[in-house]
Amino acid sequence: MSRLRTGLSSVVVAVGALGAVAALYIVGYWKSQAATDVGGKPSADVVAVTVASVLTQPVQRIVPIVGTLHGLEEVPISAKVDGRIVRIRRDVGDVVRPGDVLFEIDPVEYQLKVNEAARSLELELSKLGLDTVPDKDVDVDVNRLPAVVRAASQLKLAQLEFERSSALVVQRTVSQADFDKVQTDLALARANYEQAVLDARTTLAAVRWKQAALESAASDLAETRVAVPDQSATLGRAGEPVEYVVAERSVTEGEVVRAAGAQPAAFRLVIADPLKLRAAVAERFKPEVVVGLPVGVLTEATGDEMFFGAVKRVNPTVDRASRTFQVEVEVPNPLRRLAVGSFAKAGIRTRLDENALTVPAEAVVRFAGVVKVFVVRGGKAVGVPVELGERVESEAQGTKTRIEVRGDLSPADAVVTSGQSQLADHTPVVVRDDRPPASGPPPAVSSAAEAVQ
């Protein structure tokens, strides 16, 4: 009987010990759960993360370039004649058109030269008995000029006298001496006529020369008013209005300018609409860049405002030193928001890739020169090195900016978008749902004990 009591007591003690151990385990378990699950946070060795899907999206391929904006044409204006500037009519920033006068040179000396040339021409015309210069494209009949007509009349008279004397010599009514005189007079009349024709031709040539001298003097006089040239035909825009902007003025009133070209241009004009963006493109893009492709252009002065143009010219050769080729982009600038000489960044839109993989911008991790994303595979975070491509604006999965990536990814993968700072390869993770609850906030948890209850 005593042995039975002793055995029962041992059983009771054992059961009590087991109960105590179980109780301690249960309490420890719930304390652990309370410590790890308060506020929905996992334990120290499991990282809570949010994820987003890898999407397949169409991506526009863009070739980045940088360069300088130039005017469609830049025209240096210099004086064609020497003289002192008496008036400046335009200044930097003015919009000018063909024919507008930029500055004037003292015309007095050139006006005197015109007057002198005109009087000299009148003198030569008077020798021919003319009031105006014959048309250049019409051959003048010198036989109708007064001096030649007179010589021709004298020749005709001498010819008739010779014919009469010849008949009288046969009849012996005129002496041989008289006949010889008539014959000599005929020869002199013929020589006078030929000389008159020659003199008329010489005087007519002098008239042409004097006329050219007058035109030259008149041209010099006109050049004292230095005006904007008309390049519409050269630009292939005949009949269209061409406007220039005065970009530089290097002369002042009272300054003496020379036409020899020893001094810099007096004015520099630019056509500011459209502009030309000249840039170098890496050789590897040579097959993709062709004339006509659209281009987006940004400058520091205009911030995020993008201007659009098109590739106008592509240099067919590649520079041996830089391994680049030159392109020229024509950028419309009707409001002149873009300035000539500005530094510009641009992107040439080459082709559309329909099946590019993209991830949210916040999924990209950069550390020590390595770019990667974390992918959740089998409950663990796996770092996948990637190469970045274009940025894509998208409303998918509540994010606006996504980035194209190239690496060991597929559309079935989910990439980590938060909590990456606590991750390393093969770190256990638990996916946290960031979406707001359907109705009302979750109940507040004040302590671990309340969480257990």
Cβ within 8 Å of residue 282, ≥6 positions away: 63, 323, 324
Could you tell me which CATH number the domain at 59-68+272-431 has? 2.40.30.170
Average pLDDT across the chain, whole number? 80
Helices (H), 171-321: 176-222
**Cβ 448 vs Cβ 34: under 8 Å:** yes
CATH 2.40.50.100 segments of the chain: 78-105+225-270
Look-up of token digits 């008036």: 87
Q: What is the pLDDT of residue 332?
A: 92
pLDDT at 136: 67
What's the CATH number of domain 78-105+225-270, 2.40.50.100, 1.10.10.10, 1.10.10.60, 3.30.200.20? 2.40.50.100
**pLDDT at residue 128, rounded to an integer:** 77
Q: Which residue ranges does the chain devote to CATH 2.40.30.170?
A: 59-68+272-431
Helix orientation angle between 108-128 and 146-170, rounded to the nearest 10 degrees: 20
> Which segments of the chain have a pLDDT < 50?
1-43, 397, 436-453
**pLDDT at residue 438 in the model:** 44
User: Taking the chain, what is the end-to-end CA distance rounded to the nearest angstrom?
Assistant: 46
| Neighbouring C-alpha atoms within 13 Å toward the C-beta of 286 | 11
What pTM did the predictor assign? 0.58
Domain with CATH 1.20.120 in the chain: 108-221
The reported pLDDT for the residue numbered 371 is 93
Beta pairing partners, 313: 328
Write down the residue that tokens 């020369």 correspond to: 209
pLDDT, residue 138, reads 55
List, as one string, the DSSP characters of 294-354. EEEEEESTTTT--EEEEEEEE-SS--TTT-EEEEEEEE--TT--S-TT-EEEEEEEEEEEE
Q: Which pair of structure tokens corresponds to residue 115?
A: 């007057």
DSSP notation for 211-224:
HHHHHHHHHHHHTT
The closest alpha carbon to 275, from 419, 68, 63, belongs to: 68
Q: What is the pLDDT of residue 215?
A: 92
CATH number corresponding to 108-221: 1.20.120
